[in-house]
Amino acid sequence: MLPAAVAFLASPRARLALLVALLGGGASAAVVWQPQDLLAGGGRPFALAGAGAVALFGLLYGVCTAAFVPRPLLNLASGALFGLQAGLLAAVAGTVIGAAIAFGLGRGLGRGALRPLVRGRWLTAADDQLSRHAFRSVLAARVFPGVPFAAVNYCAAVSRMSVLPFLLGTGLGCVPNTAAYVLAGSAAADPGSGAFYAAAALFALTAGGGAGLAWWRRRRGRAGGPVTDPVDQRAPVRA
């Protein structure tokens, strides 16, 4: 009985069930405890100051995003606590940490069960796009507003892309949207300030830039133009 139980726990389905349980537990805890309110309303985490507080906030930010806490709320809290520069640093670092956690969970626990389901024309084409052009695909998904953060993480984990282009695309692509929210959070106490209007303008520019990037990619794909992606060329595609 024991070898059979061990074999079952090591099976792809059991690992997927564990992943679902972990994500469900994390999401439930986030709903109950509201960590974004704790971080924003409780002052600097654990009474730290300066770089220590920023680093700890970034780590907690990453854990919270893995538990499906909405990133805009965390970005606003980061701006309110640390201002634009340090708040942006903490939020971007936290975004990358959260993406890395989700990618590792999805790759280690969910990929074995979900990978055989990648069939059909559309799923195969999407998987090929993610695997061969990882950096630019993740970059575009992070820049374009409205694309679910968690969905990109777990789709990337199930695909054949390597972790390096995934994290680079995440770190660079999240900056515009993150900066807009952090700037808005830093100016929340003064809605009529120039910083508040600058945040609104940055939101508009981000949305327009994301739409323009999506249009350019579609047009270039129809024209059959060459793909230049040095990060993807350096990162091998793993089966």
Q: Is residue 239 part of a domain?
A: no
pTM recorded for the entire structure: 0.74
Q: Give 184-232 pLDDT, tens digit per residue.
A: 888 765 555 555 556 656 666 666 666 666 566 666 656 554 444 444 4
Q: Is residue 55 part of a domain?
A: yes
Q: Give 67-90 pLDDT, tens digit per residue.
A: 888 999 999 899 988 988 999 999
Total tally of structural domains belonging to the chain: 1
Residue 59, domain extent:
2-234
Torsion region of 84: left, alpha or beta (phi above 0 gives left; psi -120 to 50 gives alpha): alpha
> CA-to-CA distance for 107 and 159, rounded, in angstroms?
9
Q: Give 18-74 pLDDT, tens digit per residue.
A: 777 877 887 787 777 767 666 665 545 555 668 888 999 999 999 999 988 899 999
* Residues whose CB is less than 8 angstroms from the CB of residue 112 and which lie 6 or more positions away in sequence, other chains included: 12, 15, 16
Cα atoms in the 13 Å half-sphere on the side-chain side of 2 = 0
Q: Is residue 195 part of a domain?
A: yes
Q: Is residue 81 part of a domain?
A: yes
The angle that helices 134-143 and 175-186 make with each other, rounded to 10 degrees, is 30
